[in-house]
Structure 1
Amino acid sequence: MKVLLTGSGGMVGQNVLEHPSMRDFDVIAPRSSSLNLLDFSAVQLFLEEHKPDVVIHAAGKVGGIQANVREPVGFLVDNLDMGRNIVLASRQAGVKRLLNLGSSCMYPRNHSEPLREELVLKGELEPTNEGYALAKVVTARLCDYIVREDASFQYKTLIPCNLYGRFDKFDPSHSHLIPAIIHKIHVARENNDSSVEIWGDGSARREFMYAGDLADAVVHALRAFDALPAYMNVGLGHDYSINEYYQVVAEVMGYRGEFVHDLSKPVGMARKLVSIERQQAWGWSARHDLRSGIEKTYSFYLQEKQQ
């Protein structure tokens, strides 16, 4: 099976490529320097030349709250153009199977119960990352519409919960919660700081899955594509408070300082937990618990700092 993977330089893409079972496939994994997903003509030509059996769309402009608030135009337009171009060009090239990676940001804000797939477009989005979420919703809907017009196409969307792991971004201006915590507590430990600041009161809850587990779900999807629902969450089915993430990272690093809460800072949604009923019925579950995932991520962080 010939598989085209977009976003091979990103965290998700690199975790997919690192998965040992990807050796079973003929993988084409261009970086943005050799395939500009913002250029529709270039995407068309690439697909016509390589003729993949399956496309995995994992590319995207990604970042945490600060980056989304600072650059809403880029998060909307770049992600929208990348999604539109790869999906439409795949249809034009006759690629019958496409696996689109969405985001739990697609779901309505302030929903305390586990987020079920049918809730997409059923409420207001979280304002701090609305542009990114809109682009992901449109790309997923475009996949739906293509299948609706021609059932010979199977274009499906996985909706992962929040992710962290190897190949993550640790720069505070671009990082998500867990890599930001790892960097912040590592610096505090190195500087012998007595305290670390937490935005808000730390009670907001988030579901973060180790990115290697999403890669495992992607490999499983390549092998069980027909049984995969049109939309399916990929997650843990449980969450942790922001305070708990700080505590586990501190334990892994051996940091013994205290935490100070800055109640003036934004925290986003109070809770965001995905339902994994469809995932369980499909027969897949994540393998890493929080501590083991953070240990592997911190090990990667230290390797990166030594280079």
Structure 2
Amino acid sequence: MRVILTGGRGMLGSSIAERWAIRRPYDELVLLTRDLVDLRDKDATREAVERIQPDSIVHAAAVVGGLAAKLANPTKYLLDNLLLDSSVISAAIDARVPELLYIGSAAVYPEHYRQPFLESDLLAAPLEPANEGYAIAKIAGIKLCEYASSEFGLDYRVALPSNLYGPNDDYSLSHGHLIAAAIAKVHAAHIAGDASVLIWGDGTARREFTYSLDLADWLVSQVGALSKWPTRLNLGVGHDHTITEYYDSARRAVGYAGGFQYDTGKPAGMRQRILDSGVAHTLGWLPQTALDDGIARVYQSYLAAQQE
């Protein structure tokens, strides 16, 4: 089997590539990285797909970032993700690639709605304003996969993971996700001997985070059998934690003895976001990594990256 992977240098994409080499050494994985193809270029992407002739595509490429980055640059998150997704999915349709796995996001669910979210809650209410541009682009990708499947008889399916953390994340404070940014901030405070770390909001907002290697390992096992999936599938750990609890876990991993301060004038995003992953459980989804274990591994990855 020959499979194209986009976004192979990102956090989830690199985890998929790592697990693929272990679980499926006899299946060919072709990485379409940005130095080979600008996936926003529709013609270049179509040429690459036609040349490789894959049996399946795992589309993990996306322009992602933390809350601050999405608030500052909503146009970029909407436009670049629209270009990426329309280019890759349309190339797959034109080449009649029989299977495609699109990596969506829990950010597509409404801001004020029931918790946990079911797959059917898509478009049920207005989106969170801070994530709106990114979410609109991802919803467009989801619907394009659904239309392609129904119109052309293709197995184009959508994974909707919770927030993710893992090795090879972006640890910058301007673009990093919550856990990556927390690790970087707590480490910096530990090295500097600072008495406290600043957290946006009051620390009580709740988020669900899944370890990227758990997700990657299971997704690798599913490629080639996506016809068994529903059109879209929630993938989370099934429980959430407060922002402060994630910082506490980072503090334990780093060995930091200081405390936390809160800037309640800064946005903290939705009060809660958690997924109902019951359908995925019937297909064998069962993440194993405990939060403290995962964050400790990510911290070691962060230290290694600092030394490069």
Say whether 1:44 aligns with 2:43.
Answer: no
Instruction: Flag the 1:103–1:257 CA change in 2: closer, same or farther, 3 A.
Output: same
The structural deviation recorded for 1:112 is 4.5
Bigger mean CA deviation after superposition, 209-218 or 183-192: 209-218
Q: Secondary structure at the match of 1:261?
A: strand
What amino acid maps onto 1:17 in structure 2?
A
Distance 2:267 2:87 in 1: 34
Match of 1:107 among 109, 114, 132: 109
Q: C-alpha displacement at 1:220, in angstroms?
A: 2.2
Equivalent position SS for 1:170: coil
* Aligned 8 A contact 1:196 1:260 in 2: yes
Aligned partner letter, 1:50: I
Give 1:143 deviation, angstroms.
Answer: 0.7
Residues 131, 144 of structure 1: alpha-carbon distance in 2 compared, 3 angstrom cutoff: same
Q: State the alpha-carbon separation in 2 of the partners of residues 86 and 108 from structure 1.
A: 26
TM-score of the aligned structures, taking structure 1 as reference length: 0.97
Q: How does 1:49-88 map to 2 (within 5 A)?
A: 49-88=51-90
Pick one of 140, 149, 152 that aligns with 1:150: 152
CA displacement at 1:259 relative to structure 2? 1.1
The residue correspondences of 1:197-236 to structure 2 (distance < 5 A) are 197-236=198-237
Flag structure 2 segments of 5+ consecutive residues without an equivalent.
none
- Could you give the per-residue CA deviations for residues 135-185 of structure 1, whole angstroms, max 9, x where no partner exists? 00001100111112122x110000010011100000111101001000000
Deviation at 1:36, TM superposition (A): 1.1
Q: Distance in 2 between matches of 1:118 and 1:81?
A: 26
The residue aligned with 2:273 is: 272
CA–CA distance in 2 between the matches of 1:37 and 1:130? 22
**Matching residue of 1:4:** 4
Give the Cα–Cα distance (whole angstroms) in 1 for the partners of residues 294 and 209 of structure 2.
Answer: 10
Aligned-pair identity (%): 39
1:163-182 equivalences under 5 Å are 163-182=164-183
SS of the residue aligned with 2:227? Answer: coil
Equivalent residue of 1:56, what SS?
A: strand
How many angstroms does 1:228 deviate by? Answer: 1.7
Aligned to 2:14: 14
Give the total of aligned pairs. 306
Shift of 1:223: 4.9
Equivalent positions of 1:251-262 (< 5 A) are 251-262=252-263
SS at match of 2:25: helix
Distance in 2 of aligned mates of 1:112 and 1:120: 12
Residue 243 of structure 1 deviates from its aligned partner by 0.9
Contact 2:56–2:224 (CA under 8 A) maintained in structure 1: no
Aligned to 2:93: 91
Which runs of 5 or more structure 1 residues have no equivalent in the other structure?
none
Instruction: Say whether the 8 Å CA contact 1:221–1:228 is kept in structure 2.
Output: no
> How much is the aligned-residue C-alpha RMSD, in angstroms?
1.0
Shift of 1:217: 2.3
CA distance in 2, matches of 1:22, 1:169: 27
Cα displacement (A) at 1:199 = 1.2
Residue 289 of structure 1 aligns with which residue? 290
Cα pair 1:112 1:272 within 8 Å, conserved: no
| Kept in 2: contact 1:106–1:120 (CA 8 A) | yes
